[in-house]
């Protein structure tokens, strides 16, 4: 498996940058000629990961969110979203459907569930006080799924 292209985008943890990340991911992935469904799934997963970094990672403070994407010759897309925010104390609990730390806000607690549903692989690395890195993979070639 060889990397054919890669990119890195760094932006402030402001909610208006979520759509910027989505559009950037879609533009970058378009070189692999994904289906409309694949494109929507990737954009949605990126949106959820970036939202989690902004809302939960930085929790009202401003920091940097990094979106990285790698394209492989096997039509695999690897996406990582990294923050240097609060971190996640219990990753397995955070991944449970309907779990949210923002109960007073209109949060569904489905971010990780959406990412797991739309992507073929999801890995979450986090350390309290240091931040979180979410790495997702999507296989655009049907023989991998």
Provide the annotated active-site residues.
48, 52, 107
Q: What are phi and psi of 53, to 5 degrees?
A: -65, -45
Distance set, CA 109 to CA 26, 77, 100, 127 (Å): 24, 25, 5, 20
Strand duo 76-83 + 121-127: pairing: unpaired
10 Å CB burial of residue 139 (0-12, 13-18, 19+) is middle
Distance from the Cα of residue 129 to its chain's centroid: 20
């Amino acid at each position: 498996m060889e990397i054919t292209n890669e990119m890195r985008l760094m932006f402030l943890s402001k909610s208006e940058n979520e759509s910027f990340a989505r559009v950037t991911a879609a533009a970058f992935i378009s070189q692999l000629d994904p289906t409309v469904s694949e494109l929507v799934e990737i954009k949605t997963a990126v949106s959820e990961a970036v939202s989690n970094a902004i809302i939960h990672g930085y929790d009202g403070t401003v920091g940097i969110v990094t979106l990285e994407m790698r394209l492989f010759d096997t039509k695999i897309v690897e996406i990582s979203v990294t923050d240097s925010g609060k971190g996640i104390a219990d990753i397995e609990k955070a991944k449970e459907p309907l779990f949210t730390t923002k109960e007073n806000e209109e949060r569904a607690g489905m971010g990780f569930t959406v990412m797991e549903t739309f992507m073929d692989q999801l890995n979450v690395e986090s350390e309290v006080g240091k931040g979180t890195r979410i790495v997702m993979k999507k296989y655009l070639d049907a023989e991998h799924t």
